[in-house]
Chain A
Amino acid sequence: MRVTQCNEIIPGRKIFKRIYIAIMLFVVGRAIRAAAVHDKIVKKEFADLPDDFAFSLGVLPNGPHLVMGKDKKGKIKFLGMNPVGKRTTLKMAIKNIEAAILVFTFQESTAVAFAHDRFVVDGDLSDALAVVRILDIVEVYLLPKFIAAMAVKRYPEHSEMSLARKYIGRILIYARVVLGF
């Protein structure tokens, strides 16, 4: 019997892609916390979520993950990159690392990735949609327009987000991301 690979094949890992996703999740996590302070829409979205709300966003099967949640005072906290042992009311996961790369290199917007069944959601679907809206706003702050336009469902018009609000918000959010407060 001719067998090409008679031994078991352990397919290996995609180290660089995992590192890239981990960095992106770290930056997005800190940016969400900063946006929850500076942007009134993000603030309102979080205010509408339950008091014990906590969510994790990651890549299956082995991560990386990002965990965020509300504390007792209702403040948004970045709870780290490890979901183990943390109580989360909403778990959002991307099915595989390649799908995560499509999302985090902005080849596919979050909404399109949802439509392409690349996400698995365990929790309240309305909470998940709120998180997607928050991610869209954070991406508008973090990214230049020509990239953000690909990453979000609809890029906000000037009437929805003035230039002053966008650029001042961008500076403040980046400052908080870098300085970590």
Chain B
Amino acid sequence: MRVPDCYEYYLKPKVISGKKALDHIAFELGGMNAKKPIIITSKKHIRTKLDKKIITAFKDSGLTIGAIYDGGPEYLDPNLAYRLNHLFRWHNCDSIIALGGKSVTEYAKALNIFAANNGKIDIFTKDTDIIAPLYPFIIVPTMDSDGYESTNSVSTGGRRFKSESLYPDLIVIDSRTTSTGTTQDAIASSLIALAHSVEAYISNNSNPMMKSFAHASIQYIFENIVKVAQNPRDKKGGIALVNAAALAGSVFSNSSSHPAHILGTILSKKTGNYAAIIMGAILPCVMELHMLKGEFDGEDFLLAAGGFDMMAATPVESHGLKSVEIVRTLTEKLHAATQNFSAYKISEYILRETASEAASSPDVHFTEAECLLVLKNSYNGTQIKKLPAAEEIITREKVSAKGGRKCV
């Protein structure tokens, strides 16, 4: 195993996972000198009565819940988060609990920034650092994760803010909250976590900490996803998958290369299709491309995903191919649509635009031609057999200049 000359891995959130984990929140809040949390959740989670479960967990704790807010739309609206700050101040709240996934955590993070900066609205419009210490922030993830919950970033209006202070202080994973999702939620959350974890192995700043987190995450996903997809109420499997998502979030925050994530997210925004399904289809092609470039040997991945037996039974030179094969087999088992996304009928110019936009991202270390190659092959469900030729890259650059595509 290669020892890096120098590396950094920032690891902030404390994780409490397992039986009666929700009941520990009050004790942990006490340790952070907080007495009155505001709970941010969504209508979907109110329907599954998660609010009642969390109120029950606070019984006999001596704490008061400031308010429960569930009115946010699916995307983060900074104005609404700003108004939420008034509710936070009105009730003298001193901590924030995000109960749910996706937008809920984004709202909670935005609220935390506004509240800590005394409601200054320009914090999201100016490129200023988050200097003020933020309020204690706890997340209780559910199965409908988008991979950003446990990360150090928040996105609003197409912009993504990253700060180490945006990490949650505590992640609480309880079977009471993880077993309320659907099969689609479980598959989507796992595919995103898998993409994030695999990117840890192919990232150029990959380090032992990152790999160990990615290893655990991949192992949890491969051991539990099929089980949970068949029965979303599976408590142990649900906890394992949400743990995998939390681990993958930590890896994602520390890794510098996210080709599958960026390509999937951009294409999802352009076409309105589900990002997780696209990421799941893109991931094997990203692995293949890295393999052709000699940056991915599949050894660590195969150990995590297939275990010792599979790794021992596979010749060393075939570790990479076997890794890609088991990812394809997994996506096939989960859902036929994740094999390729040709059913979405995406025009080629959208793929080209996506490739161009992704190649300009600092988090993607592919050229535009390589991005396009990945997208086309994942769209058709075919394998990448060779790297794009140098002249093809030049031709595409000329086309790009002539075509006057929108520069992002």
Residue of B nearest to A9 (CB): B65
- B43-94 contacts to A, CB under 8 A, are 46, 51, 55-71, 80, 83-84, 87, 91
Q: Mostly helix, strand, loop or mixed at chain A's interface?
A: loop
Contacts A61-B61, A61-B62, A62-B60 given; indicate if A2 touches B20 (C-beta within 8 A). Answer: no
Some 12 contacts from A to B, beta carbons below 8 A apart, are A3-B67, A3-B68, A11-B58, A11-B59, A11-B63, A61-B61, A61-B62, A62-B60, A95-B27, A96-B27, A97-B23, A102-B20
B24 at the interface (CB under 8 A from A): yes
In the complex, what's the smallest C-beta–C-beta distance from B79 to chain A, in angstroms? Answer: 11
Given contacts A2-B71, A116-B18, contact A9 B55 (CB under 8 A): yes
Per-position 1/0 for A70-103, Cβ under 8 A of B: 0000000000000000000000000111110010
Q: Does A125 contact B (CB under 8 A)?
A: no
> Is there a chain B Cβ closer than 8 Å to A8's Cβ?
yes
A99→B22 CA distance, assembly (Å):
11
A2, A6, A10: which contacts B64 (Cβ < 8 A)? A10
CB distance from B49 to the nearest CB of A (A): 12
Min CB–CB distance A114 → chain B (angstroms): 14
Interface residues on A, range: 20 to 34
Complex contact A2–B60 (CB within 8 A): no
Q: Does B30 contact A (CB under 8 A)?
A: yes
Most chain A beta-carbon neighbours within 10 Å: one of B18, B23, B60, B61: B60
Residues of chain A within 8 A (CB-CB) of B27 are: 60-61, 95-96
Residue B110 CB within 8 A of the other chain: no
Evaluate contact between B65 and A8: CB separation under 8 angstroms. Answer: yes
Residues of B within 8 A of A (CB-CB), count: 34
**B residues bordering A, Cβ < 8 Å?**
16, 18-20, 23-24, 26-27, 30, 36, 46, 51, 55-71, 80, 83-84, 87, 91
Q: A1-B87, A4-B70, A14-B59 are in contact. List 4 more A-B contacts (CB 8 A).
A: A5-B65, A8-B67, A13-B60, A96-B20
Q: Chain A nearest CB: distance from B334 CB in Å?
A: 32
Q: Is A12 positioned at the interface, with any CB of B under 8 Å from its CB?
A: yes
Which residues of chain A in 4-40 are interfacial with respect to chain B, using CB atoms and an 8 Å cutoff?
Answer: 4-14, 17-18
Which DSSP category, helix, strand, loop or mixed, fits chain B's interface? Answer: mixed
- B67 near A96 with CB under 8 A, answer no
Asked if B23 and A61 sit within 8 Å, CB to CB, the answer is no
What residue of chain A has the Cβ atom nearest to residue B54's Cβ? A11
Q: Which of A3, A9, A14 contacts B60 (CB 8 A)?
A: A14
A99 and B20 contacting across the interface, CB-CB below 8 Å: yes
Residues of A within 8 A of B87 (CB): 1, 3, 6
Beta-carbon nearest neighbor of A61 in chain B: B62
Is A96 within 8 A of B60, CB to CB? yes
| Complex Cα–Cα for A12 and B63 (A) | 9
Closest Cβ neighbor of A120 among chain B residues: B27
Chain B residues contacting A102 (CB-CB under 8 Å) are 19-20
Cα A5 to Cα B38 in complex, Å, equals 10
Query: Is the beta-carbon distance between B30 and A61 smaller than 8 angstroms?
Result: yes
Query: B24 touching A95 by the CB < 8 A rule?
Result: yes
